Amino acid sequence: MSSVTALGKRPCSDCGGELEWNAAKQALACPYCGFVPKEQPANAAAAAGVAEHDLEKTLAGTSDDRRGYGAETVKVKCQSCNAISVFDPSHVAQRCDFCGSPSIVPYQETRDAITPESLLPVKLDAPRVRDLVKSWVRSRWFAPDALKSGALTDTLKAIYLPYWTFDASAHADWTATSGDYYYTTESYTDSKGQRQTRQVRHVRWYPTSGQLDHFFDDDLVPGTVGVRMDLLRKVEPFPTKNDLKPYDPAFVRGWTVERYQVDLRKASELNHSQMDREMESLCGQQVPGDTHRDLRVQTAYAARTFKHILVPVWLVNYTFGTKTFQVLVNGYTGATAGDRPISWVKVFFYIVIPAFLLLVLIVLAKSQEG
């Protein structure tokens, strides 16, 4: 993964400080004097629109004018988590933004990454995210008290993650064996020797077939390896269908942007697998009857297009004891997910002891019945 911090400098006309994207103001602003210029990336973005690119043609070869981040950069690689961070030449990297390791070395690549097509501008600022993280920590009942009183948000990092979005028209032909339930009455002898009757379910099987047309719109494939995938899935979705803005380096000033390590070809293969699973599920819903088996689906895809986009997250990495944990916040919706240590003292007092007491009460109740 790689990162881009403060690409394309732009000085404040009032104080000379570097303008940064301000989530609270939803505008490029000076973090020192608060000046907000009239010229904003959102204005140019609205006029430019968000374009889709032909997947097959791009896989055959991407021109250099659609590569890079629009500014001179310097790259370093973390030897601990393999993160590749891309910075403005004036930025000095001390530690990896993703794992905090100081083990970073210069990195050279033979060709720049594909330029992001569009992004979701971050909506939540740092104070709001700190409140969300603190609320999340307080809600973890079995977390150690020392964790709840700790300053976790001191390690808060603002990061744009890379995603690929894919569109495609799909046509599927399917065959299956459908089943209708029917019931018969049978007699049996129960454990007391009495004759009883009961309903027994059977299945009447018959062949079926059909067709299905479906359009995939912004099917998402993460390009990140810097955050845990299970946590990322918990803070999804990102509203990419309606709220994307065309990429402008001004949107990411003051932020870190991760360079994808899941490249376009690999992402397109993952997307193909995702679509196959979705088409099988959709065809399965079309099969008539009460149940079915032997579903076979043959799908053809056409007009596959893609975008390389960036989505905002806030990341907290912290160490408790000898282990490292991660908390992730969706920078657009505020959805929060993370992992945390467990206080086994609390588990003992709140689960083990009550369970033991309940068991004792059950034993006493049964002994009294006897």
Domain residue ranges in the chain: 2-175+207-339, 180-206
Residue 1: the pLDDT is 39
Residue 323: the pLDDT is 76
Residue 104: the pLDDT is 72
Residue type for position 360: V
Q: What is the pTM of this model?
A: 0.77
Residue 4: the pLDDT is 39
Tokens 């659609």 identify what position? 66
Burial category of 183 from C-beta neighbours within 10 Å (exposed 0-12, middle 13-18, buried 19 and up): exposed
- Nearest Cα neighbor of 114 from 67, 180, 153, 156 is 67
Strand partners, 300: 171
Taking the chain (370 residues) in runs of 10, the rounded mean pLDDT of each run is: 47 83 84 86 60 88 59 71 67 68 70 81 89 79 56 74 95 98 94 91 97 96 89 92 82 79 93 97 96 97 95 84 83 87 57 76 73
Pairing of strands 53-54, 195-222: unpaired
Pairing of strands 118-119, 291-320: parallel
Residue type for position 104: I
Cβ neighbours of residue 307 closer than 8 Å, sequence gap 6 or more: 50, 51, 52, 53, 117, 118, 164, 165, 218, 244
Residue 47: the pLDDT is 52
Residue 55: the pLDDT is 93
Residue 238: the pLDDT is 93
Residue 2: the pLDDT is 41
Helix/strand/coil for 309:
strand
- C-alpha dist (Å) from residue 100 to 9, 79, 171, 262, 267: 25, 11, 47, 22, 27
